[in-house]
Amino acid sequence: MRKKKILQEAVFYLAVVLISMVVLFPFLWMLSSSLKTQTDIIAWPPTFVFTPTLQNYHKVFGEQDFLKYFINSTVVGGLAVGLSLVLGLPAAYSISRFTQKKLALFILLARLMPGISFLMPWYIIFSRLGLMDTYIALVLSHMLIALPIVVWIMSSYFDSIPVELEESAMVDGATRQYAFWAIILPMSGPGIITSVTLSFIFSWNNFMFSQVLSMEKTRTLPIAVYNFVSYAEVDWGGVMAAAVAIMAPAIILTMVFQKFVVKGLTMGAVKG
């Protein structure tokens, strides 16, 4: 009986390790390839033991202007998330307190609909307005990613805050908007962290909008990584270093705010 138990445990932990390995392996391979020379990468059979080199990172950050793309991505993501909070927090509050289900669905639609069906018209309109390759066009498009996330997460967060709090303030003579500003928002830290982290990561990873609306000046990281492959000769080491560079911030954010990210990603489904 005891023996069987130990065996069961061993099988269980083996499964856990196996699952973790499958999940982790592409990251490890990417990291190790980014430290290899081109010769080591194209060697056959593949090399597992090699002398690591940082030359690919030097190339990516030295010759390729990646720092500029890094800043572009940060600015676009930061502004899009910030403005989405400005628009999204009051909307989410209203949805929560006045149970506006239809409105919630309307905003959720922006999360569900395929981006390309607005992208083509944007492209034409932004071109006419001379807004192509400007932060304005990019931030507006990325807000359409961030806003639904903010509204969705925050409306259910506000649901969890007892309505008596602002009611007692209102009895004391405060206006509702003041109660929202002075009482509800200061209590919403965890919800805001969740929505900011998630919407920033989604903006950071966005490829399609930036591919069409950005060019030389406002190019974001995913486009830079993609271009790296498509017209430099395939310099795998450099590409892998670029891939590490683009994933690192999102992964670090995730590690720091792990609990919030899990909550944000899973709550929509669990709640239903």
Partner 1 sequence: MREPSFVERHLRVLFPLPAILFIALLMIFPILYTLALSFTSWNLTSGAPLRFVGLRNFEQVLTEPRFLDAVLRTFGFTIFAVLIEAVLGTAIALILNRAFIGKGLAKLLLLLPLVATPVAVGIVFNLFYDPTIGLANYVLSTFGLPQGLWVSDATSVIPSLIIVDVWQWTPMITLIVLAGLAGLSEEPFEAARVDGATQWQVLRHVTIPMVMPTILTAVILRLIDALKTFDIIFAMTGGGPGYASETLNIMGFKYSFEYFRMGQASVILIALFFFVLLCSLGIMKLRSSAEN
Partner 2 sequence: MKKMLASTVVLMSSLGLSTGAWAQGKEIRVLLANHPYGELLKTAIPEFEKQSGIKVNFESLQEGQLTTKLTTEFATKSSSVDVFMTRPLQEGKMFNKNGWYEPLKSYDFSDYPKPVMSVAAAGSTPYLVPLVTEWQVLYYRKDLLQAAGLAVPKTLVELEGAAKKLNTDGVAGFASRGKGAAAVTQLSSYIYGYGGLYLDKGVAVFDQPAAIDALRYYGKILGNYGPKGVTSMSWENIMPLFQAGKVAMWTDASVFYGQIVDPAKTQIPAANVGIADLPAGPKAQSPFLVTSWGIAVANQSKNKEAALKFLDWASSKELATKGMLASITMARSSVWKDPKVLEAVNPGLVATSIFAAKNGNAFDRPYMSAVGEARDQIGELIIESINTKGESANLAAMAKDKAARVNALLKDAGEYGQP
What residues numbered 175-234 form the site for partner 2, per CB under 8 A? 215-217, 227, 230-234
Dist. CA 181–CA 254, nearest whole Å: 28
Is residue 130 near partner 2 by the rule CB under 8 A? yes
State the Cα–Cα distance between residues 163 and 142, nearest whole angstrom: 32
Residue 231 engages partner 1 in binding (rule: CB under 8 A): no
**113 sits near partner 1 (criterion: CB under 8 A):** yes
User: Measured from the CB atom, is 35 or 201 closer to partner 1?
Assistant: 201
Tell me the closest approach of the beta carbon of residue 205 to partner 2, in angstroms. Answer: 21
Place of tokens 């009986």: 1
From residue 101, alpha-carbon distances to 92, 97, 152, 176, 228 in Å are 11, 11, 11, 21, 45
**Near partner 2 by CB under 8 A: residue from 20, 127, 160, 168:** 127
Residue in 80, 139, 143, 196 binding partner 1, rule: CB under 8 A: 143
Place of tokens 């069987």: 4
- Binding partner 1 (rule: CB under 8 A), the pick from 57, 66, 69, 122 is 122
Q: How far is the CB of 162 from partner 1 (least distance, A)?
A: 19
- Of 124, 171, 269, 270, which one interacts with partner 2 (CB under 8 A)? 124
What is the DSSP track for 117-183? HHHHHHHHHHHHTT-TTSHHHHHHHHHHHHHHHHHHHHHHHHHTS-THHHHHHHHTT--HHHHIIII
Does residue number 267 form part of the binding site for partner 2 (CB under 8 A)? no
Region 190-209 residues binding partner 1, contact defined as CB under 8 A: 201, 204-205, 207-208
Cα 223 to Cα 27, 77, 189, distances in angstroms: 20, 14, 33
Please, what is the minimum distance in Å from the beta carbon of residue 208 to partner 2?
A: 14
Contacts of 47 (CB under 8 A, 6+ apart): 36, 40
Which residues in the 54-83 window bind partner 1 by CB under 8 A? none
Q: Closest approach of Cβ 16 to partner 1, in Å?
A: 6
Q: Say whether residue 117 binds partner 2 (CB under 8 A).
A: no
Site string for partner 1, 154-173 (x = CB under 8 A): -----------------x-x
Q: Which of 218, 121, 118 is nearest to 129 (CA)?
A: 121
Distance CA 142, CA 208 (A): 10
What does 134 bind: partner 2, partner 1, none (CB cut-off 5 to 8 Å by kind)? partner 2
3-state DSSP of 51-82: CCCCHHHHHHHHCCCHHHHHHHHHHHHHHHHH
Q: For residue 183, what are the CA distances in angstroms to 93, 174, 177?
A: 12, 10, 10
* Binding of partner 2 by 53 (CB under 8 A): no
Does residue 109 bind partner 1 (CB under 8 A)? yes
Smaller CB separation from partner 2, 158 or 209? 209
Instruction: Catalog residues that contact partner 2 under the rule CB under 8 A.
Output: 39, 42, 44, 123-125, 127-132, 134, 136, 215-217, 227, 230-234
